[in-house]
Structure 1
């Protein structure tokens, strides 16, 4: 299964359904439908519609259709209806002109001060009449399905790119973990010996004198405890285990964004612990490099569905 991004864009257009002819046997303009879908990242699926009045009755059906195809993201759906008449203007029929004229006479009979309809008013009303005469439901749902499929394909392409970037950073983190692993036993033994040397100096012994047995045991216990505190082998093992799980999820695909986000938090925790325990510049550098890579992964994971 593919990895999907929550970022994408798709659009499409379709003609309206056939509408009745007027009394002069001229076809009434059916208009043209346009649909755009944009999406960005979000914790949940958040659908927003910007439809003209003639498309709003079909919003619920489009919402259900998109809900079956998209699982997460802030999605904006914009629909437009344009007249298909030459120049984008509907051709008013004689029947419509007669009706407008009668309505105007009735209004002015009651409101003598009302202004007369202008040519622009008639053309606007004709366009509204033409658009409202269409049954947009079947056309809209078919177009929404096509545009939604294009959106899914676009999100899959972006998801493949994100998966590739994550895989590269997982590989880089493995390399850093491999660099750090041999340093751990050396560091523990080095710090243990250093601690014992400083303990002897603190006791003020000189001239070949030896520590009392109790003091030696205490020094050894303190050195061992300190060595345990700076041992980062366990953190490295957990970090590698998290990397294994991230690779498995990328190969599996599907809705993996939330699980990846959790694993990135765990990676960050292990890298922080490694940095805080570090007793050498080399381990500190490795810890910083890990944090940089993990932060880059976190930014990319925010966009995965």
Structure 2
């Protein structure tokens, strides 16, 4: 079944150290364009995330938002530089004894000296981080694809209905077409009769030749056959389990070409109005197709 390019998915995953929240939204786009927004220290995982998405999403602009919350000890460790603090303290005691200053040595005063605290980055297990993040990404993708599929089913239902309507209009045009040739023959005979005023007998063979030329020029048989073929291909394509957006766009262009030709071949007001109706429906289908993967 076809898929829409519009959708949204959200996934969460956590382990003993962290919790990931992943949100993915997609909209229609000519190509497969994936943008990932995530904490800078995780950018080395960007290509892995894109590969997961590309396995499922073949077309559309996809925006991924990743947030990280540390639930464990975090990625940094702070410890006290006891040796240095001891030296600072001794120096302060010497200042007190040598210069007889007031004793105001405090924790806050000592903490302001350089390098009193040692800040170390914890060693992180990259594979552990990826496995946690991957779980959240997979959940978000699954939700996204379900939404895209539901939207795709609705689009397919709408397109099939419009194709059926176009098919009924084409049948009406096809049925009306022979009448136009007969009307042309009758009108041509009347006009010749008026001009000759019954003084000269009408040459039926010449009249038939003119009618035959008109019938050949105004024949829409080929266009009708191709239109019906395109409608059949379009409906059949909607049942395929692969991206078909570009294929449908091409079929719509071809159907527009055929119906325009029918319109240019006919001067009958009723057929012209039917042509306008078909073009209107094709435009609505084209708008829907822009959302199909």
TM-score bucket of the superposed structures, by smaller chain: 0.7 to 0.9
Deviation digits for residues 146-188 of structure 1 (CA, Å, limit 9, x no counterpart): 2112211111111001000001101111111122221111111
Indicate the residue corresponding to 2:228 in structure 1: 240
1:254, distance to aligned residue in structure 2 (A): 2.1
- Return the alpha-carbon distance in structure 1 between the equivalents of residues 200 and 260 of structure 2: 43
Aligned equivalent of 1:205: 196
SS of structure 1 residue aligned to 2:26: strand
Q: Residue 96 in 1 paired to residue 71 in 2?
A: no
Which protein is bigger by CA-based radius of gyration? 2
Between Structure 1 and Structure 2, which shows a larger proportion of strand residues? Answer: 2
Q: Where do residues 54-93 of structure 1 align in structure 2 (5 Å cutoff)? A: 54-84=41-71
Measure, in 1, the Cα distance between the counterparts of 2:151 and 2:239: 15
Distance (Å, rounded) in 2 between the aligned partners of 1:91 and 1:55: 14
Give the total of aligned pairs: 259
Q: CA deviation at 1:291?
A: 0.7
CA 1:243–1:131 in 2, change beyond 3 Å: closer, same or farther?
Answer: farther
Structure 1 stretch displaced more, 191-200 or 281-290 = 191-200
Could you tell which deviates more after superposition, 231-240 or 73-82?
Answer: 231-240
Q: CA deviation at 1:6?
A: 0.9
Describe how 1:163-174 pairs up with structure 2 within 5 A.
163-174=156-167
Correspondence for 2:31: 44
**Structure 2 stretches lacking a partner, 5+ long:** 85-110, 113-118
**Structure 2 partner of 1:186:** 179
- Residue aligning to 1:11: 10
Which residue is 2:106 aligned to? none
Offset, 1:226: 2.0
TM-superposed deviation, 1:53: 1.3
Contact 2:26 2:60 in 1 (8 A): yes
Whether contact under 8 Å (1:6, 1:39) holds in the other structure is yes
Instruction: Determine whether 1:148 maps to 2:141.
Output: yes
Q: Do the aligned partners of residues 253 and 177 (structure 1) sit closer, same or farther apart at CA in structure 2, a change above 3 Å counting?
A: farther
CA–CA separation in structure 1 for the residues paired with 2:71 and 2:136: 17
Distance 1:279 1:153 in 2: 49
* Structure 1 residues 254-275: Cα deviation after superposition (integer angstroms, max 9, x where no partner): 2211111111111111121222
Report how far residue 37 of structure 1 moved. 0.9
Q: Greater CA deviation, 274-283 or 148-157?
A: 274-283
**Cα distance in structure 1, aligned partners of 2:181 and 2:75:** 90
Q: CA deviation at 1:192?
A: 2.8
Structure 1 length-normalised TM: 0.75
Structure 1 unaligned blocks of 5 or more: 19-29, 103-116, 119-125
Note the 1:221-260 alignment, pairs <5 A: 221-260=209-248
> In the aligned structure 2, how far is the partner of 1:296 from the partner of 1:92?
54
